[in-house]
Amino acid sequence: MRLPRRVPWASLAELDQVCAAVYGDENDVDAKIFAINRIAAWKAITALPHAVESTLAFLVVIVQDTKHGSTSPLLLRHGYAAAVIRLVNGLVDPLQVGTYARSISAIAQQLGLPNWLVELRHAATHEDLPSLSLLQEAARQSMSWLLHNYYLPTLNPVSTRPTTSAPPLRPLTPMLKFYKNTMKTITRDVSLVSQSKPKIVSILRDLERWIAECRVATNVAVGEVSWYAGQTDRTDIDAKETWALERFCDGLAEKGMLVPLSKKKRQLAGEDFLPNKTSVAFWDPLLQHVQAIHADFPLVFCRRLVSTLLRANTSAEAPTTDTSYDMFLASWVMWAIETWQNTSSVYLDLKWEMLAHLMKGLGCESPFASRNRSAISSLLKNLTSGQEELESITSLLLRPNTQLSEPVCAYFI
């Protein structure tokens, strides 16, 4: 649940009044001075959203520029440049969420911020100060961007929701294929390990950047930007990271990734309900890398794969089940539990979490008789092996067309 966020204005009518003063008449200096005074008063009460803070920075320079001759051109150039730098940095910095830094232009592109403003910000910071006319145009476009991306959506959240979709994410599949092919080459020729290490590191960084881009996309997809730098709700952060990791797990679950395309290569590791050593050798470095950076990855990974199995086996609209695919995917859940069960204090019991998720999906929410539960059945039996009470519950749940007297998932509440 997202907690209410404190804002400086008592009602949206106050924000609307300031917005009208800022954007109503370009030549009305008195209205802009009123807006400056009102925003300054708000700032004395509480922290301002970054959009309003940037508006104040631009307004002060615009009013100074309007009073011809009272301010030197050099001071105006510095004022405009500082406002542009603060706008771009304040938008981009909160979205540098990955372990590896992403380019400012890449994040700005996801936000729909004009790329030339990013280039102008770079020039104003590291090169010669841009001309006054160029900076004035930057201020006009910045104020227009703030109007359409902050003020109008805030004042009219339903009617002004953007109709254009956010820039699409880079395809994940080619990156995963490149990683898999590289690991395949290394496992076949061990002498190439040291030579290929920089390439593997580069691929892992690129995949981590993709996860960071996916988190930014959650903001853009719902028309939100991190306007309150440093004041983002922790629950909101966790939800966005979970969403990004789920998209990553969906890519891993595609045929040809964790599960080989060839059915001959989907043999499990002997009597253990685990992926074969070849598949583990391919994917273990990547999975361990993501787990080391994202503490929630083991739980998200297991829940996402289990949800995939439940959808395939309990939905009336599901296509004919690929049994070998299901079995191999379920074996990865078992591998993850055995690998990460005791690696983090965040999870009291990863195995118990998956049991509860499976029992709830099969016993409480699914009205359909499964056409093929071999993978789920095998996973449940392996998870409950050696626990007599749970084994009896599992056998009851998996009995075909059984009418249970009480929901099985009640045992896990």
- pLDDT tens digits, residue range 95-134? 666 556 667 777 777 777 888 888 888 888 888 888 998 9
Q: Which of 323, 413, 298, 300 is nearest to 363 (CA)?
A: 413
pLDDT given at position 312: 64
pLDDT given at position 343: 65
pLDDT given at position 272: 81
Q: Which of 406, 299, 274 is nearest to 357 (CA)?
A: 299
pLDDT given at position 320: 52
pLDDT-flagged residues of the chain (< 50): 1, 160-165, 221-224, 230-237, 315-319, 345-347, 365-371, 401-413
Give the span between the Cα atoms of 241 and 225, in whole angstroms.
Answer: 15
* C-alpha separations of 92 from 5, 96, 211, 236, 248 in Å: 21, 7, 16, 18, 23
pLDDT given at position 333: 93
Q: What is the DSSP letter of 400?
A: T
| pLDDT tens digit sequence for 75-96 | 989 999 999 899 888 888 766 6
